[in-house]
Amino acid sequence: MTMQHSKGVSLDAKDFLTLKTLTPEQLQQLIDLGIHLKQLVQTNQPHPYLTGKTLAMIFEKSSTRTRVSFEVGMAQLGGHALNLSSDNLQMGRGETVQDTAKVFSEYVDAIMIRTYSHAMVEELAANATVPVINGLTDDYHPCQVLADLMTLVELKGSLIGKKLAYVGDGNNMAHSLMIGCAKMGMTCAIASPEGYMPKEEIVQTAKGIAGETGGSIIITNEPREAVEAADAVYTDVWASMGWESEQAEREIAFKDFQVNDELVKYAASDYTFLHCLPAHRGEEVTASVLDGSHSYVFQEAGNRLHAQKALLLSLLQSS
């Protein structure tokens, strides 16, 4: 079958560390490109637009969806991905981030890193001459939210004026969802218990973006307030990677923040349930919601592949 020509989205930044560097128009264009690339896969149309390109994938945090989606994505685009654990790199034995960035820039066309410190990813990007993609840090998870928003566009159409409720830990997911929803002109309501609220500086950033797009940000300690009339309900595990030692105390703090059949009664009748996965059935969400007719978590997970291909194509088309 003849390959169709496809161009990536013209981005303002070399790197993709958060959603903040995207304009609303660029974000919408990335989503649209992801949907187009998904259609090429569904119709068995080859699209090796990145032939000869190599992506280095550095993992300090374990991964299922991030590793597989980026590796398969590069393969479908005609390129190659290297799966690298920090334990097997000199970076894990004392080589500086600055030196690692410069060495990798001699070998590969882009770097994706999944790690703890966002400041370290910023340092990597500052010293690399190739694009750096944030596959997850403790502060942000922008690739996941690209897929989340793509899923909602597929299901809801235009997202302007729609409401997403996030119930749970004010973590990297809450941070990126606030920014992504604000860019799309949505209302993003975050319900977290005291002591686990999203970072105030990121809340203020998201509110500033929302003020320009007609969206809004709501921060509350009441799950029902957040979920009221929500078009989408979202949650995440109560103890993310790096916080497992707090599991017992978090179960107490979050006991009233479970997404269950009673809570989702307050959402819109056609609400969509989303979760970044992996999910702990019976903790942050009941099996009846996760496996119910409103849940699109596996379509959402699948869209990591297509949204990230759109991102890769956009970052690497001119590199």
Question: Is residue 246 predicted with pLDDT exceeding 70?
Answer: yes
Predicted pLDDT of residue 92: 57
Q: Which residues are catalytic?
A: 114, 141, 144, 236, 276, 304
What mean pLDDT is predicted for residues 170-199?
98
For residues 255-279, give the mean pLDDT.
98
- How many other C-beta atoms lie within 10 A of the C-beta of residue 310? 25
For residue 70, give the H/E element and its range: helix 65-76
Q: Report the top-level CATH class of 24-140+304-318.
A: alpha beta
Give start and end residues of each alpha helix (H) in 83-199.
Answer: 97-107, 118-127, 142-156, 172-183
Distance CA 31, CA 37 (A): 10
Taking the alpha carbons at both ends of the chain, their separation in whole angstroms is 27
pLDDT at 319: 53
Q: Work out the percent of the chain whose per-residue pLDDT is above 90.
A: 90
User: What are the start and end residues of each CATH 3.40.50.1370 domain in the chain?
Assistant: 24-140+304-318, 144-300
- CA-based R_g, the chain, Å: 19
Asked whether residue 67 is marked as a ligand-binding residue, the answer is: no
Determine the residue type at 187.
T
* Residue 142 annotated as binding site: yes
The pLDDT assigned to 244 comes to 80
pLDDT of residue 243: 72
Per-residue pLDDT, 89: 84
- State the SS3 of 85-97: EHHHCHHHHCCCH
Question: What pLDDT is recorded for position 18?
Answer: 98
**Mean residue pLDDT across the chain:** 95
Question: Is 134 annotated for ligand binding?
Answer: no
Please say whether the beta carbons of 215 and 186 come within 8 A. yes
Per CATH, the architecture of 144-300 is what? 3-Layer(aba) Sandwich (3.40)
pLDDT-derived band of residue 2, with 50, 70 and 90 as boundaries? very low
